[in-house]
Structure 1
Amino acid sequence: MSDSAGDTQFQDESTMSDELQKLKDLIESADNERSRLLLEKAESEKEKRRAEAELERWMKDEEIQEEQFRRDLEELQVEMKNLESVNRTLKKELDDLKDKLQLKEDEIDSLQQKFKIQAELPVQTVKFSGSRGVCEREDELRCVFTVTQRPSLLLRGGQALITFEEDKVAEQILRLAKCSVACDKAKMEVKPCAVTLEPTVKYEVHITVSKKTVRFQFQKAPPPFPAERIRDRLELSFCKANRGGGEVEELHYNEEGGAGTVTFSSSAVAERLVLRGRYTVDVCGEADVEILPVYEYQLRKFQVCVCVCVFSLSVSEMCVYTYLSACVCICR
């Protein structure tokens, strides 16, 4: 009986010891879990502080970028206003220059009309003696023109022009203080006066025209490529016979003006292109160029003559004048 009770007590103590050990293990496991959680919490706090610091840095950078953007925007707005002001000033200057150019062109037209020259070439008899063999012509064509201006007088309102057959008639009229002229059953009193002709000129124009070299100019803005590349493409384009070109000896190109000169081996090619007036080239796309002849001219033997007509008179109603040997001028 006592042995049975002792065994039971021993079993109870063993069971309690096992339970105690389990509890200790649970407590130790709980402590380990608590330590791990504390470490994770510390790492999380550290990561949180690092993230907050990075966020604060990004916010400061954003503020700096916004401030820089605002300053750049203000500078661009100020620069845009300045450019608009400069643009308005340039437009005004351009309009003024256009007005001045128009005035100069009008003045040139007026002077050209005033000094318009009518030259008569003398008739020459040509005798055909025979044909010559075809030979290579020179590279330049030279010619000389002699220009002679005839004396002239611009008639104003109430004036007319009359010519007498004899000088003495005009001389007699000029000696009179007054004379009467019948006009439509009415008589007008006339008074002689002297008239001076405008100066006349005579000069020679020497012109030298190249037979093989022509000048070209882009009709629109030239392509924005290097000058060497454009020169090569132009040379290839001018060599194409199907477009009217030919063999090229030399080509010069000015990048600033978009123009240049090209020399062909055959003068027939240059003559054909000059008569056509334009040519299509392939410079990263087709473009038209204007073809012009290459020539030089000189003004030589310039002479100015002043002619005075002594046979002129002035009247109350009309003016009669001529630049021939016998003439009178009747002024109103």
Structure 2
Amino acid sequence: MGDTDNTRETHAKVDGGLEEDSQLREAKKELETWKMKAERADDVKSRLIVEKLEEDEAKDKAKQEMIAWVKKQDECQKEFTQSMGSVQGELLKLAKRKQDLLDKLKMCQDQLESKRAESTKLKQKFKIFVQIPDTEVSFSAQDKEESDDDSQPIRGVFIIEQRPTVLLRGGQALITFKEEQVASQILNIPKCSVSCEDMSLDVKPKRITMDPAVKFETFCGAPKRTILLDDIEDIEEEEDLQDHLEIHFQKKSNCGGDIQSIKYISGGKVMQALFCEEAGKRED
């Protein structure tokens, strides 16, 4: 009985020792596992610290680059503003020069038109119409019997004649009545109202003025039976409006009378009215 109890105690001690060894091994194994995890955590921590340092360095570098770009942008903006101001100044100078040139061009054009008008007036004033008839002339040798002393010089006789003219501009009409009294009556009216279809047209009668005659002429003028109508608006076709003018000034109720001739031209046109020889004679 005593031996049995001792054996049991011995077995119990052996079993307890084995269990403690097993627990110790498991504890060592778990310790190794945690040690490896701690080492891995340290590695991860070290890597994260290095990455953070690299990111901070990259961030500082990017910040410095951004500051440099902002500074460069400010310099470019300042340079652009200065360039824009300079360009605007040049544009203002060019605009002023252009306006000066346009004013000078307009003045030159006005002077040119004035010179052209003066030239046209002088051409009309000193224009000489020469009509040379076709004549057959035969020349023969000088007779031997005639001497040089008896020869006569060749003499040419020319007749200078100028026909009176009036420059008829756009919006004007020239009317010649058969009687001078009719023209005088019309000229006493400040403004004539001519009926045209469903509207009326106001025209202004004027006396014809001639340019001074050239030196070699004794007389040059227009007949007193002729008047000039001015300020005529183009409200109808040229021929239709001329017919209305002729009808109006033929009526006795409008102080008119028989018309020998009438000529009207619309705006934008110019015509030279030439008086015949009979019209150029004096009418006392």
TM-score interval, smaller chain: 0.3 to 0.5
Bigger Rg over Cα: 2
Which has the larger share of strand? 1
Q: Normalising to structure 1: TM-score of the pair?
A: 0.38
Q: Normalising to structure 2: TM-score of the pair?
A: 0.44
